[in-house]
């Protein structure tokens, strides 16, 4: 239960810092930021739908795998933070 709590806390903490990160490092404009956040929301909706379909059969895989995926995506965002063409797919991968 602690692992699930920390995963959600980390995901929401990262989401809180996403807009300042994109404006400061990636230097996106307001329309670009809107499109990136729209893509993040759509990918989150699709990812939630897919994860809920997998939940009954692969609960432990999701509990262990999703935090690792989120950590890898955050590391990728930090590694490519100046390139919008690399940040956009990383954000979409972060959504599920």
pLDDT string in tens for the chain (96-residue length): 787 788 778 778 877 888 888 888 889 999 999 998 898 889 888 888 877 887 778 888 877 887 888 888 888 888 988 888 888 888 888 766
**Residue 31's pLDDT is what?**
93
- Cα 47 to Cα 39, 75, 83: the distances in Å are 12, 20, 24
**CA separation for the pair 38, 92 (Å, rounded):** 10
Number of domains in the chain: 1
**Residue 72's pLDDT is what?**
87
pTM of the model: 0.75
- Residue 42: give the domain boundaries: 2-94
Q: Are 21 and 77 in contact (CB under 8 A)?
A: yes
């Amino acid at each position: 239960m602690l692992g699930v709590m920390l995963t959600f806390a980390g995901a929401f903490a990262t989401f809180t810092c996403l807009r300042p990160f994109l404006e400061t490092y990636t230097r996106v404009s307001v329309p670009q930021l809107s499109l990136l956040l729209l893509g993040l929301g759509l990918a989150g909706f699709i990812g939630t739908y897919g994860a809920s379909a997998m939940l009954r059969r692969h609960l432990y895989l999701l509990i262990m795998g999703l935090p690792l995926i989120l950590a890898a995506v955050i590391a990728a965002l930090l590694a490519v933070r100046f390139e919008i063409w690399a940040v956009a797919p990383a954000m979409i991968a972060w959504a599920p």
